[in-house]
Amino acid sequence: MKETLVRSFSGLLYVALLLLSLTNEHAFLILFFVFGIICLAEFKKLIQYKSFIPFIVFTILYAIFGYWQFVVDSTDGLNEITQILQVITIFVQLFLIKDLFTEKNIPLFISKKIITTTFYLSSGFIFLVLIASHNHTFNPIILFGSFILVWTNDTFAYLVGKNFGKQKLFPSISPKKTVEGFLGGLFFASVASYFIATFTETNLSFSNWLILSIIISVFGTLGDLIESKFKRQANVKDSGIIMPGHGGLLDRFDSIIFAAPFIYLFLRILNYVS
């Protein structure tokens, strides 16, 4: 009973902080910077990377894409840089996906550690900021909707998998994840996309939100599996202990930061075709 209360309290505190930050752009920038630093520290520990350089790189990237857009209110020269960052990030993520299909450990030589901390984790948070400033104004509804889709997918993937799951998804990485659970999460995230489209004011249609729900379910699940593989290599259950009953903060962000570049890519495509 006590463990359930602690887990519920830490989860509610996390959600409350997240929701409050979405009401003010400065609070959003500060909180997500702190979240990013914590997740980066947890990830560095997982891959046994003791250098301080990733924190410097993350701070520089966050300053460029966060401060410049929100505070200076300018995107001059950023579009090209953003496209380059997006291409490299997705390229690195595709290699991480490839690593899921081999029983070998993810290689963690020094250059791989630099690449993954920069273009897997740091850039994931950058794209969360870019989603919140979609169309160059602070409008966090799309980001909030994306979090709802992640939570819906994770919740129902767990419930459906626990009660009906038989076929393992990646048994060598995450024995509890099943194909049935993945499909259940995808289905209910798709259902949730209808309510998000209906009860939020954005320029996205139901069809757009439905596509986003598929993107988030697929790439969010892959992000979860990739972090699970890193944890398995490190021989730990959780990425950290900052959230009692839940583990580390990276355990809560692994899905959304991996899906973020693909969410932002879809939003850019919508801008081009509209």
Give residue-wise pLDDT tens across range 160-201.
999 998 899 988 898 889 999 999 999 999 999 999 999 988
Task: Locate all alpha helices (DSSP H) within 47-172, ordered by sequence.
Answer: 53-62, 68-70, 78-100, 110-116, 123-132, 141-164
pLDDT at 138: 83
For the whole model, what pTM was predicted?
0.94
Report the 10 Å Cβ neighbour count for 172.
11
Question: Residue 264's pLDDT is what?
Answer: 95
Across 63-69, average pLDDT: 78
pLDDT tens digits, one per residue of 80-106: 888 899 999 999 999 999 988 887 788
For 47, 187, 225, the CA distances from 166, given in Å and listed in that order, are 32, 17, 18
Mean pLDDT confidence for 70-88? 75
What phi-psi label fits residue 259: left (phi over 0), alpha (psi between -120 and 50 degrees) or beta?
Answer: alpha
